[in-house]
Amino acid sequence: MIMVILGLLFVVIGCVYANRRLSTKSSDYRFGWPAIWRLACIIGALRISALWVGLAGLRRSDWWQVPANFILMLGLPDIYIVRAARAEPLLWAVLGSLTLAATSFVWSSSLLWVANRTRRKEVARRQES
């Protein structure tokens, strides 16, 4: 249990550091591939660690199953791709981890696409005034 807490603490510290690096105010250029990779790693680390923590919580027979189910919801909707392997928990977690790692790039690129579009509109507004 202590290793899980230390692992989550490590992930949170990494996310805070990455958020600080990504949120620095830059000039009027767009977010590119390095930002997509960084954000995908952050999203993937959070969602994959939530998957494994949720799986560990489901193996217990006490009240920890309730928060484990809520933690597993962080993998939705991507985790439905591997629902056929749900009968074997370890296989399901490994396939789910691979799926979440792959779809993290889709999520990060779509989020940064929206950020680039709003940034362009903001730059256009500044140039008009």
Nearest to 79 by CA among 68, 94, 65: 94
Q: Higher confidence at residue 71 or residue 1? A: 71
Does residue 28 carry a pLDDT above 60?
Answer: no
pLDDT of residue 4: 59
Least reliable range by pLDDT among 2-16, 48-62, 93-107? 2-16
Nearest to 71 by CA among 121, 19, 4: 4
- Asked if residue 37 lies in contact with residue 122, where contact means CB atoms within 8 angstroms, the answer is no
Alpha-carbon gap, residue 26 to 79, rounded angstroms: 35
pLDDT of residue 121: 75
For 14, the 3-state DSSP assignment is helix
Q: Higher confidence at residue 9 or residue 72? A: 72
The amino acid present at 8, given as its one-letter code, is: L
Alpha-carbon gap, residue 36 to 43, rounded angstroms: 10
- At 34-84, the pLDDT tens digits run 888 889 999 999 999 999 999 999 888 888 888 888 888 888 888 888 888
Contacts of 109 (CB under 8 A, 6+ apart): 36, 40
